């Protein structure tokens, strides 16, 4: 079991024993659900706000896809500050700089992940000591976007290719950008069914299973994606 899985397991056990009434909730909020790093830019920033009444300590790092990586040593980025304290009602800025990499693709996007781990302040009195403090972690996508890629991230969401397969649908992303699917809605004979979407890498093909085996043909297929700003866009599928 990973380090973070152990934290969650212990926390959930404590919640069941103490009840939800005394649980300290997450107080850290990031100013976006994803980060886009355009090639050639000196740095990009992420604002982290503390919406609690107490100060918190945060630890931040970038991983290349493994959520159990606890350091940015395997990525071509430097993040500052890696550890800092945020007072109640205040905000801090995380700065991400690209260091360069000989192995980073220049003909398509690459994806990494920004992690922010919140460690609540220690209890100051008996009432506070009765609370359950949990270390919450936020993990959002960090896209490195090379210059002069054909098309755009917005266009990529509309250019997906769909193909009916036994038990589901196959979707191909012909673009040079990552496309994050939130869900897919199948319509067959007036019956609708939704399934959770996946992130599709540039040039990749993903299979999405239809849970209802009675659906053998699809009259209409629509899907929802996440854009660069964290907003949702809905589209009708094209073959």
Q: Which of 85, 21, 230, 60 is nearest to 143 (CA)?
A: 230
Q: What are the sequence ranges of the domains in the chain?
A: 3-145, 153-236
Residue 123's pLDDT is what? 57
CATH homologous superfamily of 153-236 equals Immunoglobulins (2.60.40.10)
Residue 87's pLDDT is what? 94
Strands of the 161-165 sheet, one edge to the other: 161-165, 168-172, 205-209
* Contact between residue 119 and residue 55 where contact means Cβ atoms under 8 Å apart: no
CA-to-CA separations, 92 to 24, 82, 118, in angstroms, rounded:
21, 12, 13
Tokens of 43: 């740095």
* Contact between residue 217 and residue 188 where contact means Cβ atoms under 8 Å apart: yes
CA–CA separation, 38 and 110 (whole Å): 11
* Contact between residue 68 and residue 3 where contact means Cβ atoms under 8 Å apart: yes
Residue 215's pLDDT is what? 66
Determine whether domain 3-145 maps to CATH 2.60.40.10.
yes
Q: What is the pLDDT along the chain (239 residues), one digit of tens a residue?
A: 444 444 434 333 433 333 444 445 568 899 999 999 999 999 999 999 999 888 999 999 999 988 877 665 689 999 999 999 999 999 999 999 999 988 899 999 999 999 999 987 665 654 555 566 677 889 999 999 999 999 999 999 999 999 988 778 899 999 999 999 999 998 877 778 888 999 999 999 999 988 766 666 777 899 999 999 999 999 998 76
CA–CA separation, 28 and 43 (whole Å): 22
Q: Do domains 3-145 and 153-236 have the same CATH topology?
A: yes
Residue 187's pLDDT is what? 83
Residue 56's pLDDT is what? 92
CA angle (217 as vertex; 214, 222 as ends), nearest 5: 105
* Contact between residue 28 and residue 92 where contact means Cβ atoms under 8 Å apart: no
């Amino acid at each position: 079991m990973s380090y973070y899985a152990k934290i969650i397991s212990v926390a959930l056990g404590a919640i069941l024993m103490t009840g939800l009434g005394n649980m300290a909730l997450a107080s850290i909020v990031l100013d976006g659900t994803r980060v886009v790093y355009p090639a050639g830019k000196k740095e990009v920033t992420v604002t982290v706000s503390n919406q609690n009444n107490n100060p918190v300590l945060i630890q931040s790092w970038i991983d290349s896809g493994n959520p159990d990586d606890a350091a940015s040593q395997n990525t071509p980025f430097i993040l500052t500050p890696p550890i800092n304290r945020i007072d109640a009602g205040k905000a801090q800025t995380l700065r991400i700089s690209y260091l360069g990499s000989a192995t980073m693709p220049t003909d398509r996007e690459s994806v990494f992940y920004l992690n922010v781990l919140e460690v609540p302040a220690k209890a100051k009195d008996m009432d506070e000591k009765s609370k359950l403090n949990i270390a919450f972690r936020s993990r959002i996508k960090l896209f490195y976007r090379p210059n002069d890629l054909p098309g755009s991230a917005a266009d990529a969401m509309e250019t997906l290719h769909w193909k009916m397969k036994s038990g589901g649908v196959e979707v191909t992303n012909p673009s040079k950008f990552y496309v994050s699917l939130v869900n897919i809605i199948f319509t067959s004979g007036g019956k609708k069914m939704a399934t959770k979407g996946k992130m599709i890498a540039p040039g990749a093909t993903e299979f999405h299973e239809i849970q209802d085996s009675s659906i053998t043909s699809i009259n209409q297929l629509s899907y929802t994606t996440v854009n660069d700003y964290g907003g949702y866009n809905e589209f009708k599928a094209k073959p």
